[in-house]
Amino acid sequence: MKPLQPIMLAGTGSDVGKSILATALCRIFLQDGYRPAPFKAQNMALNSFVTPDGLELGRAQAVQAEAAGIPCEADMNPLLLKPQNDHSCQVVLLGRPVGNRDACDYWQSEGRERLSEEVHRAFDRLARRYNPVVLEGAGSITELNLRETDLVNMSMARYADARVILVADIDRGGVFASAYGSVMLQDEEDRKRIKGIIVNKFRGDLRLFDRGRQMLEEICGIPVLGVVPFLKEVHIDEEDSMDLKPCGQAATSPLSGGTLQVAVVRLPYISNFTDFNALERDGRLSLRYTDRAEDVAAADVIILPGTKSTIADLHWLHRTGLAGAIRQARRAGKTLLGICGGYQMMGMEVLDPQHVESDTERMAGLGFLPVTTVMTGEKRTRRVTGRLLAGSADCTLEGYEIHAGETRPCEADGMRPLLRLNTGETDGYYLDERCMGTYVHGILDNAAFVDFLLRPFAGRVGERQEAPDYRTYKQQQYDLLAAHVRRHLDMERLYEILTHD
| Cα gap 266→211, rounded to integer Å | 43
101-115 pLDDT, tens digit per residue, is: 776 666 666 678 888
Q: So what's the pLDDT on residue 354? A: 84
Q: Is the pLDDT of residue 423 over 70?
A: yes
* Domains of the chain, first to last: 7-236+475-499 (3.40.50.300), 259-460 (3.40.50.880)
For the question of residue 89 being annotated catalytic, the response is no
Q: So what's the pLDDT on residue 321? A: 92
- Of the candidates 71, 162, 6, 66, the one whose C-alpha atom is nearest the C-alpha of residue 481 is 66
| Cα gap 468→75, rounded to integer Å | 31
Mean pLDDT of 404-424: 85
Q: Is the pLDDT of residue 251 over 50?
A: no
* pLDDT more than 70, % of the chain: 91
Catalytic residue among 315, 340, 403, 488: 340
Q: Rounded to an integer, what is the distance from CA 461 to the centroid of its chain? A: 30
For the question of residue 340 being annotated catalytic, the response is yes
Among 77-86, 98-107, 273-282, 349-358, whose mean pLDDT is lowest?
98-107
* pLDDT more than 90, % of the chain: 69
Q: How confident is the model at residue 246 (pLDDT cuts 50, 70, 90)?
A: very low
Reported pTM: 0.86
Q: So what's the pLDDT on residue 497? A: 96
290-303 burial by CB neighbour count: b if 16+ within 10 A, else e? bbbbebbeebbbbb
Q: So what's the pLDDT on residue 245? A: 43
Q: Which residues contact 434 (CB under 8 A, 6 or more apart)?
A: 330, 333, 334, 335, 336, 456
**Rg value, the chain, Cα:** 23
Mean pLDDT of 119-135: 97
Q: Is the pLDDT of residue 172 over 50?
A: yes
Q: How confident is the model at residue 160 (pLDDT cuts 50, 70, 90)?
A: very high
Q: Is the pLDDT of residue 254 over 80?
A: no
Q: So what's the pLDDT on residue 413? A: 63
Q: Is the pLDDT of residue 366 over 90?
A: yes
User: Which has more confidence, 411 or 367?
Assistant: 367
Q: So what's the pLDDT on residue 265? A: 96
Catalytic residue among 441, 484, 488, 500: 441
**Amino acid letter at 89?**
C
Mean pLDDT of 189-195: 95
The angle, 0 to 180 degrees and rounded to 10, between the axes of the packed helices 322-331 and 310-320 is 80
Mean pLDDT of 178-194: 95
Cβ–Cβ < 8 Å for 431, 409: no
